[in-house]
């Protein structure tokens, strides 16, 4: 059968249209950029050097593909990352500068619209501040908070501290005098010699307060020296932020927080704080009061226990995050290689296990997850950085129930073409392009 030229033209046009539609339907649309930091494995000439891998997250499947990396972190043994509120700056806490320099260094990277990161500047912590452990940026991107201290299991002259650095267009500036995270002698006269180890820091979404988790080395020190016969439990220290960035202890600070609090997060409504207890396999919830700008009284921002807590997690919880809507919370359990999912009662703050189709609130990751985050663009995906699994595990978040299902082709390797594993320890996510964030991600 022969076709006229007009029919042939119509046929070609139709085929072209179908192909275009097919390609459009299959086009990968990036919703977020996921940054994963870790240390290059031993056995190479650059062993221990910190590296960042950048992944693009597909909007439809949540699958990750590498778009940049590895990029040197500016130090070694990176343990934490944080992003500015406008998502244009990334900060990395490196526990040491290099194998020949034990001082911690905080590196600042600019983040381009296509997710590429470039080292811009850095600051080295003084030896008196000890080892960098965690960091956070306030919602106006004017201050960077760094917690540091002793990371060994023996008593040290280095004490737990909170240091505030001024930020100007992302650049790290002058540090204020470090604040000592120590138990007040008047309230704890029998524990003056105990040593506190900081583990995490978070800033309220409105910037009105900063909270830091610590644990008593004497209370949880399985293989170290005994520092007290009457160890104290873990604590959360609270600070109200005032004019010019001044930090003043919140009323009643510090607050008891289990045995070994390992991480904490604040909800986006500035009403609740949650801390994971590594030793007790629990999540501890707190309500925040008297912390609203515009109130007739001075801000005091004390914490009070949620009366129906604590709440069961998996074994050895090490990281926690809340979705941008404040509806769901996810805890990474390092020993179980799992995530515990919770729904949050928006009135009381009470978390309840989000039961998946298998009848459990646990969702399995690769081996030893150490960090967790929810995508800030639409709050659709959850990712973990799996240290011994040398990978990132991805999950799709059910926006109604909060349950999780694995993303396409998860987990995603974090090695360099199968060589030199980077053992990921921290993770951060920024939205891509026109995907406006629902809220500042923790």
Q: What is the dihedral of CA 391, 40, 322, 264, to 10 degrees?
A: 140
Residue 389 CA to its chain's centroid (Å): 18
Tell me the helices (H) and strands (E) count for the chain, helix number first: 1, 32
pLDDT of residue 265: 98
Q: Please list, in sequence order, all residues whose beta carbon lies within 8 angstroms of the beta carbon of residue 113, skipping any fewer than 6 positions away.
A: 432, 433
pLDDT of residue 294: 66
Residue 1 CA to its chain's centroid (Å): 66
Backbone angles phi, psi at 129, to 5 degrees: -85, -10
Positions in the chain short of pLDDT 50: 1, 3, 6, 8-12, 17-26, 45-46, 434-442
pLDDT of residue 442: 34
Distance CA 187, CA 64 (A): 50
Question: 275 and 264 in contact (C-beta within 8 Å)?
Answer: yes
Question: 160 and 214 in contact (C-beta within 8 Å)?
Answer: yes
Beta-carbon neighbour count of residue 254 at 10 Å? 25
Tens of pLDDT, residues 266-302: 999 999 999 999 999 999 999 999 998 766 578 999 9
Distance CA 301, CA 436 (A): 30
Question: 77 and 99 in contact (C-beta within 8 Å)?
Answer: no
Tens of pLDDT, residues 375-408: 999 899 999 999 999 999 999 999 999 999 999 9
pLDDT of residue 45: 47
Can you give the pTM of this predicted structure? 0.89
Backbone angles phi, psi at 354, to 5 degrees: -90, 105
Mind listing the domains of the chain with CATH numbers?
33-431 (2.130.10.10)
User: 143: which strand partners?
Assistant: 166
């Amino acid at each position: 059968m022969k076709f006229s030229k007009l029919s042939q033209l119509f046929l070609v046009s139709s085929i072209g249209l179908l192909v275009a539609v097919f390609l459009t339907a299959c086009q990968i649309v990036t919703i977020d950029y996921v940054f994963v930091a870790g240390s290059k494995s031993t056995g190479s000439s650059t062993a221990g050097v910190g590296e960042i891998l950048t992944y693009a997250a597909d909007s439809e499947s949540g699958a990750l593909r590498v778009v940049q990396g590895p990029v040197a972190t500016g130090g070694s043994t990176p343990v934490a990352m944080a992003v500015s509120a406008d998502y244009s700056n990334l900060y990395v806490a490196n526990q040491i500068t290099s194998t020949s320099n034990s001082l911690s260094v905080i590196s600042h990277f600019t983040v381009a619209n296509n997710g590429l990161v470039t080292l811009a500047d850095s600051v080295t912590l003084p030896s008196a501040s000890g080892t960098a452990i965690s960091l956070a940026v306030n919602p106006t991107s004017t201050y960077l908070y760094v917690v540091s201290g002793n990371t060994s299991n023996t008593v040290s002259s280095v004490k737990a501290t909170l240091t505030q650095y001024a930020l100007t267009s992302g650049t790290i500036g002058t540090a204020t005098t470090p604040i000592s995270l120590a138990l007040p002698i008047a309230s704890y006269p029998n524990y003056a010699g105990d040593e506190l180890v900081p583990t995490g820091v978070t800033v309220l979404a409105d910037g009105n307060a900063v909270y830091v988790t610590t644990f008593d080395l004497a209370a949880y020190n399985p293989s170290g020296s005994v520092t007290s016969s009457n160890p104290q439990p873990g604590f959360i220290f609270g600070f109200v932020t005032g004019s010019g960035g001044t930090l003043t202890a919140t009323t009643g600070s510090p607050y008891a927080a289990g045995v070994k609090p390992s991480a904490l997060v604040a909800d986006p409504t500035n009403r609740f704080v949650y801390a994971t207890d590594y030793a007790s396999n629990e999540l501890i919830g707190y309500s925040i009061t008297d912390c609203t700008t515009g109130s007739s009284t001075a801000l005091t921002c004390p914490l009070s226990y949620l009366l129906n807590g604590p709440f069961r997690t998996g074994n050895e919880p090490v990281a926690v995050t809340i979705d941008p809507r404040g509806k769901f919370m996810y805890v990474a359990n390092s020993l179980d290689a799992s995530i515990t999912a919770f729904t949050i009662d928006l009135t009381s703050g009470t978390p309840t296990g989000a039961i998946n189709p298998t009848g459990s609130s646990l969702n399995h990751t690769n081996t030893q997850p150490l960090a967790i985050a929810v995508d800030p663009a639409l709050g659709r995906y959850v990712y973990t950085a799996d240290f011994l699994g040398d990978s990132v595990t991805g999950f799709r978040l059910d926006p109604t129930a909060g349950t999780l299902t694995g993303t396409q082709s998860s987990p995603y390797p974090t090695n360099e073409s199968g060589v030199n594993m980077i053992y990921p320890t921290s993770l951060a996510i920024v939205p891509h392009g026109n995907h406006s964030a629902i809220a500042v991600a923790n």
